Amino acid sequence: MCGRGGRTGDCCELRPDTARGFTLVEVLVVMGIVALLVALLSPAISKVRAEGRSTQCMSNLRQIYQAVMVYRNGADQLLPYAAPLPAETPTGLVGGLPDALQKIIDKKSEVWWCPEDFDNQENVGLSFVYAAGGFILLEPPDVNQNAWENAKRVMRLVTQRFEGGYLRKFPLVADSEDRHERSGAVPRNGVFLDGTTRPLKKEDGIIDDS
């Protein structure tokens, strides 16, 4: 009998086939299926993560752009007079846009970093190049002016060229290296003087006569 009040023949014991677990073959099959799914999903997951890092990169560029606009409000609408990248000195990195905007954005802020940049933190100090700074360096000085007058003259010329001259197709600030692999676009992000922040295109930065 199987307990009080039970009737003979009403057996409660488990049958061997109801207590069976997974066989080794079944476990291996399940593990194989899981591994296959992971292999199929990994590229998609990696792509989503890369797109997220690119979006954060453009967000950082947008914040740098806003800081430049704040600077211009107190500088007769001129762009910052700064080198394309900071210079390395015995006492650390100096110059560049981080120095010019340090009263607006902390020089150690993560805004200066692209999430896809895993190399430049120690070497350069930031992930982005100030394109306007490159044209500042190309402008010859006027020997009849002092340093301050020269700086204002150069920045007036560079600002005018970015506003509507032949530099209007150049990004103001952009990734300093190729970091965002994508089809149909240059693997760098940039922000333009009109505030547009986007992946760069092959035609960006082309100087023409129009």
Cα separation of 98 and 86, whole Å? Answer: 8
> Would you say the pTM of this structure is higher than 0.85?
no
pLDDT tens digits along 91-144: 777 889 999 999 999 988 999 999 988 775 555 568 999 999 999 989 888 888
CA 187/CA 60 separation, integer angstroms: 16
Q: What is the pLDDT of residues 179-194, one digit of tens each?
A: 888 776 789 999 999 9
Residue 43 confidence class, pLDDT cut points 50, 70, 90: low
Produce one character per residue of 49-72: b if its CB has 16 or more CB atoms within 10 Å, e if not: ebeeebebbbebbbbbbebbeebe
